[in-house]
Amino acid sequence: MLVQALEDIWAITPDPRRDRLAVAFVTHLVAMATDVSPGDISAHKRSTLAAARARQIAIYLTHVTFHWPLNRVAFAFGRDRTTCAHACHRIEDMREDAAFDAKLVTLEACLQQAPRHSLEGVR
């Protein structure tokens, strides 16, 4: 049973520790941009609308910027794949607002400018 669990994890991501570090990086970037604490973004309990939206943004940016499949994003965030899919759909719908889209473009650019060695293996 343990072997199967490890094989399942390996199928999702080549290095779960590195993925969680990448998620922490994205979470902190989103926290700075939204003025929501990283702890609130990462919380697994019910949270404020602002924290939930910031979490959705972090999930979306991880999926889009790093080109990770939703299973990998979900595993790294400790969420369900369908939760991550919902987050991505919500943020994609919100991108129709020009001001919101401009903020996301800026956040994506920040993530793409991160030193490659610090996120090596993320892409």
Domains of the chain, each with CATH number or no CATH: 2-112 (1.10.1750.10)
- H or E element, residue 96: none
Q: What is the pLDDT of residue 4?
A: 54
Residue pLDDT, tens place only, 40-57: 999 988 889 999 999 999
Q: What is the pLDDT of residue 123?
A: 47
What is the pLDDT tens value at each position of the chain, 123 positions in all? 555 555 555 556 668 888 999 999 999 999 999 999 999 999 988 889 999 999 999 999 999 999 999 999 999 999 999 999 999 999 999 999 999 999 999 999 999 987 754 554 444
Q: What is the pLDDT of residue 116?
A: 58
Burial class (CB in 10 A: 0-12, 13-18, 19+), 102: exposed
Q: What is the pLDDT of residue 45?
A: 87
Q: What is the pLDDT of residue 61?
A: 98
Q: What is the DSSP string of 32-82?
A: HHHT--HHHHH-SS---HHHHHHHHHHHHHHHHHHT--HHHHHHHHT--HH
